[in-house]
Amino acid sequence: MFSRSIKIAPSILAADFANFGAECRAIEAQGADWVHVDVMDGHFVPNLTFGPAMCAAIRPHIKGIMDVHLMISPVDVYLEAYASAGADVITAHVEAGPHIHRTLQAIRALGKKAGLAINPGTPVEAAAELLDMVDLVCVMTVNPGFGGQSFIEGQVPKIARLRQMIGDRPVHIEIDGGITATTAPVVARAGADVLVAGSAVFKGGSVDAADVYGKNIRAIRAAAEAAVG
Ligand code: DX5
Ligand code: ZN
C-alpha cells in the first residue's frame, strides 16, 4: 500500500564491497526500509559499480525492497536483466537517453515499479509529462557518480515544486545525495518520503558493529519525522 511515511534507503555504495550479503542483512536488521543499489557504467557517470549478476547475488539477502538506481546510458537494453535480477524499483535518468517515456513504459511492462531520476542541472519540469507513469521521482541532491559528496542546498525548492506537481498521485519522492541527520529534515519538510543515505548510514559501523548502522538510521529517521510532525 502506498504511504508517504519516511523511508530510509541505505546505499550499499558505502558498504564493504567484500561483504555485500552480510551488509544487506545488517542494515535491514538495523531498521533500513529499502536497500538502494547504485548502478554506474563509467560513461553516463564517471564510476563503475554493479552489474545484474551482482544484484541477483544480493537479492536473497534482502527481505524488503531492492531499489535499483540505474546511472547508465543506454538504459533500455539492460532493463530486463535488472528486472530478472530481482529489482523491485528500477529508476532511470531523464538525461540518459532520448526516450525516457519508452523506458518507463518498459519498466512497468516488466512488472516493476518505475522511477525517474533528475540530475541537479535538470529542471523539475522534465518530470511533468511523466507523473502518471511513474511510482517514484528521485531528485538528485549531488551530481551522480560518487558517495560522500556535499548536499546541494539549491535543489530543495525543486522538491517542494515536485510535491505540488504530484498532488495526490501515489508517487514517492526520493532524495539521493548528501543526506544526513542535518539535511534529512530539510528535504522531508519539502515533501520527500524516501531518503537515500550512503555515508551517513555506514559511517563508523561494520557488520560486526552493526548497532552503529541502527543508530545512524534512527538519527536520520528521527530528524526527518520531527520535521514533518
Ligand atoms: C550518487 C548515488 C548515491 C550515493 C549517496 O551517485 O546515487 O546513492 O551513493 O551517497 P551519500 O549518501 O554518501 O551522498
Ligand atoms: Zn543512488
First to last CA, the chain: 21
Listed residues: CB within 5 A of ion ligand 2: 38, 69, 176
- Whether 125 is in a domain gets the answer yes
Q: Closest ligand 1 atom, CA of 148? A: 13
CA 180 to ligand 1 center in whole angstroms? 11
- 149 pLDDT band, cuts 50/70/90, is very high
Q: What is the pLDDT of residues 19-63, one digit of tens each?
A: 999 999 999 999 999 999 999 999 999 999 999 999 999 999 999
- Whether 1 is in a domain gets the answer no
Determine the Cα–Cα distance for residues 162 and 175; give it in Å rounded to an integer.
Answer: 12
pTM: 0.98
Task: Provide the grid cell at 95.
Answer: 538525461
What average pLDDT does range 199-227 have in this prediction? 98
Q: What is the pLDDT of residues 111-126, one digit of tens each?
A: 999 999 999 999 999 9
- 229 pLDDT band, cuts 50/70/90, is confident
Catalytic residue among 67, 88, 176, 193: 176
- Count how many Cα atoms sit within 13 Å of the Cα of residue 92 in the half-sphere of its side chain: 31
- Whether 69 is in a domain gets the answer yes
What's the total number of domains in the chain? 1
- Whether 34 is in a domain gets the answer yes
Determine the Cα–Cα distance for residues 216 and 225; give it in Å rounded to an integer.
Answer: 14
For the Cβ of 179 lying below 6 angstroms from any atom of ligand 1, the answer is yes
Nearest CA to ligand 1 atom 9: 147
Q: Closest ligand 1 atom, CA of 177? A: 14
- Whether 105 is in a domain gets the answer yes
For the Cβ of 220 lying below 6 angstroms from any atom of ligand 1, the answer is no
Instruction: Spell out a b/e string for 136-162, using b for 16 or more CB atoms within 10 Å of the CB, else e.
Output: bbbbbbbebeebeeebbeebbebbbbb
Question: Which listed ligand is nearest to 199 at the C-alpha?
Answer: 1
For the Cβ of 139 lying below 6 angstroms from any atom of ligand 1, the answer is no
Per-residue pLDDT, 127:
98
Q: Closest ligand 1 atom, CA of 143? A: 6
Question: Which listed ligand is nearest to 152 at the C-alpha?
Answer: 1
Per-residue pLDDT, 105:
98
In degrees and rounded to multiples of 5, residue 68 shows phi and psi of -100, 115
Residue 135 Cα to chain centre, angstroms: 12
For the Cβ of 23 lying below 6 angstroms from any atom of ligand 1, the answer is no
Counts for the chain of helices (H) and strands (E), in that order: 8, 8
Question: Which listed ligand is nearest to 146 at the C-alpha?
Answer: 1
CATH number of the domain bearing residue 146? 3.20.20.70
Q: What is the pLDDT of residues 60-112, one digit of tens each?
A: 999 999 999 999 999 999 999 999 999 999 999 999 999 999 999 999 999 99
Nearest CA to ligand 1 atom 6: 144
- Whether 173 is in a domain gets the answer yes
Task: Provide the grid cell at 40.
Answer: 554506474
Q: Closest ligand 1 atom, CA of 198? A: 12
Asked whether residue 169 carries a pLDDT value surpassing 90, the answer given is: yes
- Whether 2 is in a domain gets the answer no
Nearest CA to ligand 1 atom 4: 147
38 catalytic? Reply is yes
What residue numbers bound the domain in which 11 lies? 7-228
In degrees and rounded to multiples of 5, residue 120 shows phi and psi of -55, -30
